[in-house]
Structures are given as structure tokens and as C-alpha cells.
Amino acid sequence: MIVNPDLRIYTHPILEFKRGGEVTVFFEGKPFRAFEGEALAAAIYASGVNVFRISPVRGRPRGVFCMVGKCGSCMVRVDGVPMRSCVTSVRHDMKVERVSGLPDLSRYGRDVAREELDVDVLIIGGGPAGMASAEVLCGTDLETVLIDDQIRLGGQLIKQTHIFFGSRELFAGRRGFEIADDYNKRLSKCSNLKIITGTTVVGVFKEGVLAVGDNVLYLVRPKYVVVAAGAFENHLVFDNNDLPGVMGAGGAQTLMNVWGVKPGSEVLVIGSGNVGLIISYQLLQAGVNVKAVVEALPRIGGWFVHAAKIRRYGIPILTRHTILSVKGSERVEEAVIASVDENWNVVPGTEKAIKTDTVLLAVGLTPNTELLRQFGVAMKYIPDLGGLVPLRTRYMETSVENVFIAGDIAAIEEATTAFIEGWIAGYSILIKAYGEREDFIESREKYLRMLQEYRSAPVSEKVRRGWQLSLIS
């Protein structure tokens, strides 16, 4: 009998978690219950494990942070091989250990298969933007390969349980994870499309684009590329900010909505943008207590409706407040917040300790642009779009011919706009490949108009301003 705490969610107002058969994994020699199909990080986190790794320099405990394979904070050794446990599926009898210090090159020299792919189109990233481009190309005779680094296709849609805004054509009224399911089904039927998941595109070389999968190296030589690699979550500076229990809000969303595991029991959310407000509501839905949402600005950052949704259940939104520190040994036990004045200085004497085991950071995202820089794409620092971003034409082409972008890599925005940009990039490729056919041009114009309409609201002012600075002809 395995007796551990169990943070799994078994009843949920909106989601149904389908778990596979029960298996046992061993973490540091101790048996843990897991279910087939679960991510390893989720399975052991659910059983109360906080410390996944010991940091290389100062030997500090590290826990899960992003849950999507971007940060390396949850790296463990699985049967001797260092792996990011959040993007590794459980297997019966796995032997898992903490990685202490730097991971080793235990894989080096092992036999790996090699596959070379000469294709028309390479799509990097299988979130809304990449899936939308693939949808446009589906059924044409352009041989297309879509590579994604996650276990499942869908990007961050798979954890979005809220109902989509926007017009009917833009999935409005449906929930994100349902849209991802639809696309998974639809794209799997495209005969000209090869989908490779669990595989990371690591670099651009003379010989082609290199991607690393589980025991396979892919060398892809495409004529056209859509880079839809999304974004990663920002961190925030405060004392002890690497303590397990401090997590990205998106990471917590993945734990909770994809894997059905509560991120904690008493949560403090930092940042009142839409991500911070939405995660707070979803925590309520999962039966987790939300202590407060902390916001440094004098006004709430996200949409009013999302704020109203949590306020009516009594969650305070503390504007003009910031987090100063967290305390705890192997896990957050307390957070200290304080008021800030109009110059962002902490008002002395306003410090307040809050008992909490989880601090979620919802303080923005940064476009994931490393690959674009390797392609030689011209970049510009535009804070309104999320930082360093590629210059682009209105047709989503970068300064490098035949290299396109779509989604959060272009500007931190939303799934809806990511879809539209993906469609635009897809049509741009069709127009290049087949010439200026009227139907293609018409479709692309329709999506360009849709994008403009969607961005015309005051809430999109920043993005509109940023786009003006990012355009090339």
C-alpha cells in the first residue's frame, strides 16, 4: 500500500480527468502512485514532492516552475538519464532521482536514429498559431512537417478552461481545451502533414534545421518556415524567489487543468493581468483557496469581467502592492507583501505576512525568439509587444525571406490573435508557392481585417502601438 498525500483533482465543475492504469514510479527509492499518461512531474508533485532538483551553484532546492519544459527547474534523473520531468510521461517502475548540481551527459554516445526531411514547409510549434498555419496548408500538395516539444499538440490551449471571447468565426463561446481537441483530430487527417511531438527544434545550421526527439535526431530542410514557438513566463525579483512553491501561473495552470493536480492549498497570485485573474478563478474551480491577487499598479491590469468573476467570490485584488519575500525551508510557508507608492517604492511599515504554500507569478511573458535570431531575422526591442521581437510584414513574413512568424513570438497577445496570424502566415505561404491566386488573397485579406477589428478595442492599445513599431514592408 502506498500512502502519500494526493493533490489530484477527482471532481471538477468543467473538466473530466481521464487517467490511465495505475503504475508505480520510484522517487529517491520511495514508491509513488502514478497513472499512465501522466507527466512525471505532475505525478510526483501530486504525492507531495516539492524538491525536484538541487541547484548547481548554491545547492538550493528547486521545484516545478513552468511545467512546459522551458525552465529546467524540475530536472530529474530517470533510470540514470537527466530529463525534464514535466515533459516526460510516466512508465511503470521508473527509477527517478533528484539531479544535484549540473546534469551529466549520460546520453552522449548512445545510438540515436537520424531522419532527414526535405519538405516544403516546416512549422515550429503546435500551439494555436502553428496549428492554424497547418490547417491552411492541410490538403494542399505542400509537404509539411509540424514539430512540437510537448507531449500533446495544442500549446497552451490545452489548459485553458475559460470560454473564449471574440466572434463566432473565432471559436467564441467554446473552451480552449475543446478547441485543441478539435484541431488534434482534424490535423491528424491531413495527408500532407507530418506531426512530430515530444521533439525540440534546437538550432539552425548550414545543413538544415536540427530537432531532437526521444532517441531521434531530425534534420529538416524546408523551403518555407513558420516559427510559432510562443513565449515563456517572466520571473520576478524578490527574496527567496527560487523556493519550491513559487511557480509560474501558466505552470500551475498546466498542473491543474491538464494533469488534474492542485498546485497547492493556499495560493497568492502576483499580477492582475488576464493570466493572474483567470488562474485565480480556475483555482477556485479546483477547490483551492486564493488568498489575494497582488498588483503593483493602481489599476487592475486585465479585463474587468475577469476581475469581477473572482471579486464576487471574495478574492481581494490588492492594487499598489508588491511581494517582498517568501519564507520556508523546502517549500513556501509564508509570503511578505507591502504597499508601494506612485514611484514604486515600498511604503515602510506596510509589510504584511501572509500564510501561503504557493505563490504564482503572473507577471507577463517573453517571446521565445532564440530560433528566429539563428535564422538571422532582424529584431527590435518593443516593450509593448513583450520585449525583443522580430520585425515583420503585415503578411507575417520576417526580414528573412520565407521565414514567417505567428502567435506570441510576434507579440504577447492571445490565442485568438495567434490563430488569425497563423492563418495569415499559412495563406502567405500558399501565395508564394502557387502564385497570387485570387481566393488565397481574398482569404488573407479577410483575416487581416479580422485581426484589425479584434485589436480595435481600448484593451488592445499597447499591442496596436507596438505593431506599428514592428512593421516592415
Partner 1 sequence: MTDFKETGVVDLKTLVKMGYVPSDVRLHRGPVAIYECVEEIPCDVCVFSCPFNAVSKNKMTDIPKVDFERCTGCGVCVGRCPGLAVFVVDVSREGDEGYVTLPHELLPPPSQGDAVVVLDREGGEAGTGRVVKTYRDRLTGSWVTTVAVPKNLVMNVRAIRVIKR
Footprint of partner 1 (CB under 8 A): 11-14, 162-168, 172-175, 284-285, 287, 298-300, 303-315, 317, 319, 416, 453-460
Rg (CA), the chain: 22
50-53 long-range contacts, CB within 8 A, separation 24+: 50/244, 50/245, 50/330, 50/331, 51/98, 51/244, 51/330, 52/76, 52/85, 52/98, 52/99, 52/244, 53/98, 53/99, 53/100
Please report how close the Cβ of residue 261 comes to partner 1 at its closest, in angstroms.
17
CA distances from 136 to 84, 212, 228, 258 (A): 33, 26, 15, 27
Closest CB 403 distance from partner 1, rounded Å: 29
How far apart are CB 285 and partner 1 at their closest, in Å?
A: 6
- Whose Cβ is closer to partner 1: residue 168's or residue 189's? 168
Smallest gap from Cβ 415 to partner 1, in A, equals 12
Q: How far is the CB of 469 from partner 1 (least distance, A)?
A: 22
Helix H or strand E encompassing 94? none
DSSP three-state, residue 331: coil
Q: 161 CB contacts (<8 Å, ≥6 apart)? A: 14, 15, 175, 176, 177, 257, 282, 285
Cα angle vertex 222, ends 220, 223, to 5°?
165
Contact 263, 160 (CB under 8 A): no
196-223: burial string, b at 16+ Cβ within 10 Å, e else: bbbbbbeebeeebbebbbeeeebebebe
Cβ 9 to partner 1 shortest distance, Å:
10
Quick one: 289 or 329, whose CB is closer to partner 1?
289
Specify the residue, 48 or 287, whose C-beta has the smaller distance to partner 1: 287
Shortest spacing between CB 313 and partner 1, in angstroms: 5
Question: Least distance to partner 1 from the beta carbon of 29, Å?
Answer: 37
SS3 285: helix
Residue whose CB is less far from partner 1, 153 or 290:
290
Residue 205 vs 313, nearer CB to partner 1: 313
Q: Toward partner 1, which CB reaches closer, 102 or 172?
A: 172
Strands (E) located in 85-192: 95-100, 113-124, 144-147
Q: Which residue, 102 or 459, is less far from partner 1 as judged by CB?
A: 459
Of residues 164 and 440, the one with the C-beta less far from partner 1: 164
Task: Look at the chain and count its residues.
Answer: 473
Q: Which is nearer to partner 1, 10 or 381 (CB)?
A: 10
Provide the pairing of β-strand 379-382 with 387-390.
Answer: antiparallel
369, three cell numbers = 525568439
DSSP code at position 255: I
In whole angstroms, the minimum distance from the beta carbon of 125 to partner 1 comes to 24
